[in-house]
Structure 1
Amino acid sequence: MRWSNCAGRCTSCSARSRHASRDESPEPRDALATPFTKDVMAEPLPRDFRFPAVKPYMGATDPRDHLSRYKAVMMMTGVNDAIMCRGFCTTLDGQTQDWFGFLPGESIATFAVLTKKFMSHFAGSIQRRKQFANLCYLKQHKSETLTEYLSKWKKEAMGVTNFDERSAIPFFTNNLRSGPFHSDLVQNEQKTYTKLMDRATRYANAEVAEKRKKEEEEGQSRGDRAPQPQEDRRPPRSRRDWGPRLALLRHLIPLTQPMSVILDHAEDMGIVSFPEECLKISPKADPKKYCRFHQQRGHDTDECMVLKRQIEELIQREYLGQYVKRSGQDHAKGPDNAQKKRDGTGPSTSAQRKRELGQLTEDE
């Protein structure tokens, strides 16, 4: 009576209460619990049996592929149906292992029952394969070689359901483009699918070899037609053809302004080319004079003959025409030029006309 009035406060009542609550909670099954029947579990393993390695199934891929691999491996060991059942659980992992653990006890007596339950639970992962009739529309494209088409055909044929080798022969023949191989298959119909694939492979290899040989011959032909370097037998160029010739100093076009003024204008126009190297300074050079064209001392800008020649070139190229002294222009004529004209030492009109027409002789 004393224990009945403890209202659960004693140690014994607390232990019984915890045990009862634990029995009602969803505890995992015993690790040794199995869904197989006693006959399946009682079957002994063959002597020296070693279970082959099989990639675990996680539930994400097609369950048919996993079953096919498992059957092929276990077939080599020669085990019976009971060992097939007990070995299958070792190839499961992740959610598939959880599924197997919750199967009811003694619910599986044969491997066929296990396969049916397995396929039913993971049916959502089955990849829907194409129908065999789809091969009827697998045509060879215009730019597709026989090798490429043969590879595409074999890949598609492996993925269809209920593949029929007898019906595949006319499918493959009709899908080919017109050509020597198609004509050969029409004239010599293949009796089996294996012979058809073998003949197609040999034709594809011959096609590749023929293409390689043709490219090789075309390359040799282009090499034979390549122009051979010949000795240059043209006559040597005369001095008259050695590029643009500058007029002699005494025949340079007279100018209306000093060369320093023309240099400023040409520099603003961006048509003057300053020398990259400096001239060698003579010991007799005047250090007080400075040439802005050469950017060094020794001579004056208006006395620079190199600048004078470049201005002459620019005038011949139709630049700086406003600085050319025309007949009747005396405002830029200095005493030296007047003296030369009086003395008759300046360039004659005929020489100047010849220079403009490009008719000067070597002596002139």
Structure 2
Amino acid sequence: MAAPFNARIMDTPLPKEFKLPTIKAYVGTSDPRAHMTRYKAAMVMMGAEDDIICRAFLSTLDWAAQDWFNTIPYGLIQNFGELSKSFLSYFSDNIQCKRLFSHLYAVRQDKGENLKDFLNKWKMEVSNVHDLDSKATIFIFIQALTSGDFHRQLNGHHPRSYEELMRIVNRYAEIEETDRKKKDEEEGRRGGQPNKVGPTNQAPRPNQSSTTKGRDHERPHLVPLRHLTPLTHSVGHDTNECHILKGQIEELVQNEYFTQFVKYPQQQYQQQGQPGNVWRKEEDLEPSASNTKKKRYDQHNL
């Protein structure tokens, strides 16, 4: 392949310790200025001479950008300044227009937006602004934050430079992110505990605090699970098909829901020969001999 450089550039030997830059290849679709800035920075760090910078530039191009390089006439390029100018001119359609500095006044941290996400948004907006005023940018950034402890701290003690502000904000954003992950982990552990009520998909039993335990001796315990708990209100069904509804109500009662409707043992109507923990219709509780002819809804009918 014929090179677009003059003979001097091509004849300059590569340094023994020289390594090609490892930046992302430019394919011709993004802002060429960003690629050129990254490339120059990498080459300056290596201490490369102008001739070497020209020759190494091809290694950072791909696709459309490489096709462009191959269209440059042989021997046309005399130095890296000419190569850079030709590169930026050819891909000028991809250059992003810079905004006025006043655009930053419209950038705000949204409600519920964490500092890390806002910081990424802020940096992107700043990169698209020209004539950046560092001192004014500090004030604009602080005012863009939502109210809270961090905003009050920065507002009370302004950093001396924009670089110092970014260091503080980055550190605080990392702390905030670590704290959020820790809380999510703790909530996940609490939510992932096995349900002690049973294997069915039941509503979880409310947490028993020391106050709840202290009331255990004041309130009578519920009747055993082998019988339905007597209630103070009718469930609204008098047919044998109501056993599903009654079973669901019993499940909730045993999990300490609807306790205001529970009829505790001392409240039950006790009749000789009738177990007190059987759920019966109200008319069956009347002390009348005719009641023996009426239907009873004991546990076997449910």
TM-score bracket relative to the smaller structure: 0.5 to 0.7
Number of positions where the alignment pairs a residue of Structure 1 with one of Structure 2: 217
Displacement of 1:38 after TM fit?
2.7
Cα shift readout 1:279-315 (whole Å, capped 9, x = no counterpart): xxxxxxxxxxxxxxxxxxxxxxxxxxxxxxxxxxxxx
Displacement of 1:202 after TM fit?
5.8
Relative to the length of structure 1, the TM-score reads: 0.48
**CA 1:130/1:38 → structure 2, altered by over 3 Å: closer, same or farther?**
same
Deviates more, 1:145-154 or 1:121-130: 145-154
Displacement of 1:81 after TM fit?
0.7
Residues 1:133 and 2:118 aligned together = no
Choose the corresponding residue for 1:103, options 72, 79, 90. Answer: 72
Choose the corresponding residue for 2:161, options 179, 184, 192. Answer: 192
Question: How far apart are the structure 2 equivalents of 1:208 and 1:92?
Answer: 39
Amino acid at match of 1:224: S
Question: How far apart are the structure 2 equivalents of 1:163 and 1:126?
Answer: 18
Question: How far apart are the structure 1 equivalents of 2:49 and 2:119?
Answer: 41
Unaligned runs of 5+ in 2: 191-206, 223-264, 294-302
Amino acid at match of 1:181: F
**CA 1:86/1:185 → structure 2, altered by over 3 Å: closer, same or farther?**
closer
- For the pair shown, the structure with the greater C-alpha radius of gyration is 1
Cα shift readout 1:214-243 (whole Å, capped 9, x = no counterpart): x99xx9xx7636633835293485445544
Matches within 5 A, 1:17-32: 31-32=1-2
**CA 1:207/1:60 → structure 2, altered by over 3 Å: closer, same or farther?**
closer
Amino acid at match of 1:36: F
Residues 1:75 and 2:44 aligned together = yes
Choose the corresponding residue for 1:171, options 133, 140, 148. Answer: 140
Displacement of 1:112 after TM fit?
0.5
Identity of aligned residues (%): 35
Choose the corresponding residue for 2:32, options 63, 80, 92. Answer: 63
Choose the corresponding residue for 2:152, options 161, 183, 208. Answer: 183
Amino acid at match of 1:109: Q
* Aligned counterpart, 2:209: 224
* Aligned counterpart, 1:38: 7
Q: Whose RCO is larger (CA < 8 A, sep 6+)?
A: 2
Displacement of 1:114 after TM fit?
0.6
Matches within 5 A, 1:215-294: 224=209, 227-228=212-213, 230=216, 232=221, 234-235=265-266, 237-238=270-271, 239-240=273-274, 241=276, 242-244=278-280
Choose the corresponding residue for 1:90, options 46, 51, 59. Answer: 59
Displacement of 1:171 after TM fit?
0.2
**CA 1:138/1:70 → structure 2, altered by over 3 Å: closer, same or farther?**
same
**CA 1:154/1:123 → structure 2, altered by over 3 Å: closer, same or farther?**
closer
Unaligned runs of 5+ in 1: 1-30, 246-315, 318-352, 359-364
**CA 1:135/1:39 → structure 2, altered by over 3 Å: closer, same or farther?**
same
Displacement of 1:169 after TM fit?
0.6
Deviates more, 1:104-113 or 1:43-52: 43-52
Deviates more, 1:86-95 or 1:156-165: 156-165
Question: How far apart are the structure 2 equivalents of 1:145 and 1:56?
Answer: 32
Amino acid at match of 1:89: L
